Amino acid sequence: MTSIHVPSPIIQVRNLGKYYGNFDPAMIDRTGPEHGTARDHVTASIVAAWGVNFDVAAGEALGIVGESGSGKSTVLRCIAGDVAASTGDVRLAPFEDGNVNILDLDPSARRQLRINTLSVVYQDPAEGLALGVTAGGNIADPLTAAGWRNFGAIRDRARELLARTEVPLDRMDDIVRNFSGGMRQRVQIARALANKPPILLLDEPTTGLDASVASGVLDLIRQLLEELQVAAIVVSHDFGVIEMLTERCLVMQHGRVVEDALTDQLLEDPHHPYSQKLVAAART
Amino acid sequence: MGYAAARGGLNAILTAENLVRRLRDLDPSERIELDQFTGRLRLLVDRVMGESGLWAPELAAMALRQGEGDLIEAVHLLRAYKSTLGRLDTAIPVHANDIQLVRRVVPAFREPGGPQILGRSTDYTARMLTTTDRDIVDASDSTTTLDTALKTRPSNSRMSDVLRDMDLLVDRRRTDDPEPFDITRTPAKPPAPRSALLSSMARAETGALVNQWYRNILGPDGYLHEVTLGEVRHGKLPINVRHPMTGGSVNIGSFRATEVEAIEDLNGSEEDRTRFDVGYGFCFGHNERKAIAMANLDIACYRDGAKSGLEQSLLMTTDGLDSAGFLEHLKLPHYVTFRSMVERKVAVRRVADGKN
Amino acid sequence: MGRTEMTLEATVNSSPTTIAELVGHRTTETFALLDEESKREIRRALLQAVCIPGYQVPFGSREMPVARGWGSGGLQVTLACVGADDAVKVIDQGDDEGVNAVNLRRLVTMSTGIDETTEVDEATLIQSRHRIPEDDMNENHILILQVPVPEPLRGIERDIRELARMHAEADYSRMWVSLYEDKVRNGVITQSTGYPCLVASRYIVATTPIPRWDIPRLHQSKFLTLFGAGREKRVYAIPPYTDVEPLTFEDVPFEVESADGATCRLCGSSDSFLVEMPGKQESWSCSDTAWCRRQRNT
């Protein structure tokens, strides 16, 4: 098993946990993979994620794989600030030199992080984009939030990003609602990259797209991850995505990490029975 | 003539005022006396007082007469009058059970504890326009004198208490006793305490509340479902104040009010499916339509938990003076703003024509 | 709940000793319509507004003898500020004789006995709807603007809680996006009146709707501007010598209204805000009637 800790990480996550409902310390031992559920039968609380630890280095992409309900998206959303974590310690090297647990920040400070430290690409473009706004306007949003006030410069930057994400420039001034799913996803990626964030979180970025469209988007993400040297977390139920984008990955089941390994090793030789099941399913 | 830019704006106004006065005051018919409003148009007077948030039947009658029967106008006159008055004192809280009932309807039970009093109501009267004077009651007719006297029966067996005794009611009584939110001194906006919501609705325009209720039944919102009414009451409550010298409680009058308890079936995933909850409605005068809408919207708003815009709608869009005033302000001159808009149309067109 | 608020028709300044006396006393003739307690309350809100330029201060807006939406907020501000030595000018669309201006002015003068004037240099309080007078104003003037919609962000957000958050965090990027979109779609920024401005580099305000022509007058003005929104129960302020920047991109100049070659048919001015009669030649005239009259007489 490889170490989940890396030297000088960009993202450092320790004991991250999230539950829904009332807390009872004993419910932690009554839930998880051994019990086959994240739902505590005594309190009816859900332990959506618990005891999650990992580091991500610069230029590295970490995968989190599991079925729906495994807690992988919960982990990502707790880091992004979309969901309030119940417990844990998350530090980002680009923010206050990693001296602050971002989970302690107030909602306002969490939103500030999203402007130029940390970007998220969601499975559903409607979450990451204003559909009634043009592609360029969606990119103008994070730029103006970061203080850009020059129309021409905003246009140039939007053009550059859309070109890089292979959105036809003649669509730049169309509202995103009129775009196809794959195109929306490319705009979402362009927007996420607007302020060159050192950290990128991708939540099922190609799920729901047609296979051929998905592979194009996936290809783009892979190139961008190589090119931009960001620290990335990729959440997916699909080992194909994890294999293509990540070097290391965590396998989650019922709210817990059951295995972490180098991605290619995991695919070759999964240890945990659940990982074996997932890999087997991906190989058929 | 004489509307906006023309000179002599004052003359135009005075002429308009004169026309109103002449046509109203010099109408050949008998002038309507105030006691005719309070005696014969009591529901209208009650509505004006309710929407004004001021219990003053005679003043309400004056306002209605001056406003030629326009409800919003009468409410405006009454509220503006109230603004000129200092606030002397706050009445001592009374318990709603101190009500002297003249009407009580309990749809939820066939035989509720306490009386069912149909009282003065046309609920079950065929709505046939009476075109002759034949139906006017003769004072000697003894069958019509029975229920007009005020009932003074004990009325403490309200349905929410009955349900609580049956352990069928979720308990959200609070132990502290916070001062009620004063919507006349602090603007109510979300998130607001329940007292702000209730006072906003108590003073709301009746039609606005009925519409809020109905659009949630049949319109696009759907944040509400129909309740079962536990109590619909109309009666008289005392007004007591502390004597400025002795500090003792002194009764200085009374007012009539309509009170409603609306029993809500809880069926949400996070809610207690084994119990009911209750919404509350209360307003000045006899206005069951408003109190029922209010009670149902109160519980709907609580259950909604600020997830939708219902709270904002109730707090900020149901006041009759706010909505009517703003709507009617469209009649004011807008030629400066319109000029600016025209200028932008030309500017856009100039760009489109490539002249820029 | 269960507590019944009653307003009793009496005054506080006498000292009644019986309930009958308490109730029997009634005074409706107060200086400037509102009772003193209400005026103090409004002044406190105004002081807060001056201390936090551009911040919308909630206040217990009273029902006035004019309808909400008809200058009830401006009127309350005027009445809260007015003293016996003041002189008031009231304009609507720039015109002292506009019907609503006349109505508001007579309410102020009737309830206070103060002087009214159409001349800026004689006035101390200038209440206005939709315009700033063309004349220079100075430290002796308070400009009171009637505000129909005080929330500059309402066009992009309806939820009151979210709006409060956006102002608190100065999270105005969506406002910038709306300007970006406007410029992309239309080639110009089409916001006509009520142009959003950043006050003291902090809060975005709705500029009543005055035309863009008037916006530069607010920047580093010598006079105090008070904004009263009666229906929405907010006041806000631009203190003297405060930065007021219309929101625009560095490379997209802020444009005021213009009409090519137009001059006032009465005074010949081309450097005032002009309004037009539809479909006529030589149809322009100054919106500020007092200013126009003086141009003709000098």
Q: Where are the domains of chain C?
A: 36-246, 260-298
pLDDT of C4 higher than 50:
no
Distances (CA, A) of B137 to B44, B149, C70: 21, 17, 47
pLDDT of A177 higher than 60:
yes
Average pLDDT over residues B10-31: 92
**Is C38 within 8 Å of B83 when comparing Cβ atoms?**
yes
- pLDDT (0 to 100) of residue B3: 39
Distance in angstroms (rounded) separating the CA atoms of residues A25 and A100:
26
Tally C-beta pairs within 8 A across A and C: 50
- pLDDT (0 to 100) of residue C16: 55
Distance in angstroms (rounded) separating the CA atoms of residues C144 and C236:
10
Q: Which residue of B has its CA nearest to C8?
A: B88
Residue with tokens 């999650």, as numbered in its chain: A52
If interface means Cβ-Cβ distance under 8 Å, which residues of chain C face chain A?
165, 168-169, 171-174, 176-177, 180-181, 183-185, 249-252
Which residues pair with residue A11 across a beta bridge?
A: A56, A92
**Is A114 in a helix, a strand, or coil?**
helix
pLDDT of B284 higher than 60:
yes
Q: Beta strand A199-203 with B276-284: parallel, antiparallel or unpaired?
A: unpaired
Per-residue model confidence as pLDDT tens digits over A86-99: 999 999 999 999 99
Q: Which residue of C has its CA nearest to B199?
A: C1
Query: Backbone phi, then psi, for C144, in 5-degree steps?
Result: -115, 115
Q: Which residue of B has its CA nearest to C132?
A: B336
Distance in angstroms (rounded) separating the CA atoms of residues C134 and C210:
12
**Is B4 within 8 Å of C99 when comparing Cβ atoms?**
yes
Give the pLDDT band of residue B114 (cuts 50, 70, 90). confident
For residue B255, the chain C residues in CB contact (below 8 A) are 4
Instruction: State chain A's mean pLDDT as an integer.
Output: 94
For residue B88, the chain C residues in CB contact (below 8 A) are 7-8, 10-12, 22
**Is A51 in a helix, a strand, or coil?**
strand
- pLDDT (0 to 100) of residue A151: 98
Distance in angstroms (rounded) separating the CA atoms of residues C144 and C148:
13
Chain B interface mutation, best of C99, C100, C103, C284, highest count of B Cβ atoms under 10 Å: C99
**How much of chain C, in percent, has pLDDT values that exceed 90?**
82
C241 CA: distance to closest CA in chain B (Å): 26
Per-residue model confidence as pLDDT tens digits over B86-112: 788 899 999 999 999 999 999 998 888
DSSP letters for B237-288: EEEEEE-TTT--EEEEEEEEEEEEEEEEE--STTS-TTSEEEEEEEEESS-H
- pLDDT (0 to 100) of residue B43: 96
Residue with tokens 């950043």, as numbered in its chain: C198
CB A135 within 8 A of CB A178: no
- pLDDT (0 to 100) of residue C11: 39
Instruction: State chain C's mean pLDDT as an integer.
Output: 90
Interface of A with C in 118-157 (CB under 8 A): 130, 133-134, 136-138, 140-142, 144-145, 149-154
Q: Which CATH number fits domain C36-246: 3.40.50.11310, 3.30.420.40, 3.40.50.10680, 3.40.50.1970?
A: 3.40.50.11310
Within 10 Å of residue A264's Cβ, how many Cβ atoms? Answer: 13
pLDDT of C23 higher than 70:
no
Distance in angstroms (rounded) separating the CA atoms of residues B299 and A243:
52
What lies within 8 Å, CB to CB, of B346 at 6+ separation is none
- pLDDT (0 to 100) of residue A24: 93
B partners (3+ CB pairs within 8 A) are C
Give the pLDDT band of residue B282 (cuts 50, 70, 90). very high
Question: Model's pTM, two decimal places?
Answer: 0.90
**Is A133 within 8 Å of C181 when comparing Cβ atoms?**
yes
**Side-chain half-sphere CA neighbours of C99 within 13 A:** 19
∠B340-B345-B347 over CA atoms, to 5°?
95
Judged by average pLDDT, the poorest of A136-150, B25-39, B147-161, C157-171 is: B147-161
Higher pLDDT, C276 or C226: C226
Strands (E) located in A57-143:
61-65, 87-92, 118-121
B75 CA: distance to closest CA in chain C (Å): 10
Buried b (16+ CB within 10 A) or exposed e, C20-59: eebbebeeeebbbbbbeebbebbeebbebbbebbbbbbeb
- pLDDT (0 to 100) of residue B83: 85
Which residues pair with residue C115 across a beta bridge?
A: C87
> Which structure tokens are listed for B4?
């906006």
Per-residue model confidence as pLDDT tens digits over B117-145: 888 888 998 998 988 887 777 777 665 54
Strand arrangement of the beta sheet that strand A256-262 belongs to: A118-121, A199-203, A231-236, A61-65, A248-253, A256-262
- pLDDT (0 to 100) of residue C1: 35
What lies within 8 Å, CB to CB, of C14 at 6+ separation is C25
- pLDDT (0 to 100) of residue A4: 65
For residue A134, the chain C residues in CB contact (below 8 A) are 181, 184
**Is B91 within 8 Å of C97 when comparing Cβ atoms?**
no
**Side-chain half-sphere CA neighbours of B346 within 13 A:** 10
**Side-chain half-sphere CA neighbours of C57 within 13 A:** 25
pLDDT of C20 higher than 60:
no
Average pLDDT over residues C120-136: 97
Which residues pair with residue C145 across a beta bridge?
A: C128, C227
Distance in angstroms (rounded) separating the CA atoms of residues A35 and A23:
18
Distances (CA, A) of A284 to A278, A279, C46: 10, 9, 72
Residues of C classed as catalytic: 54, 264, 267, 286, 292
- pLDDT (0 to 100) of residue C8: 38
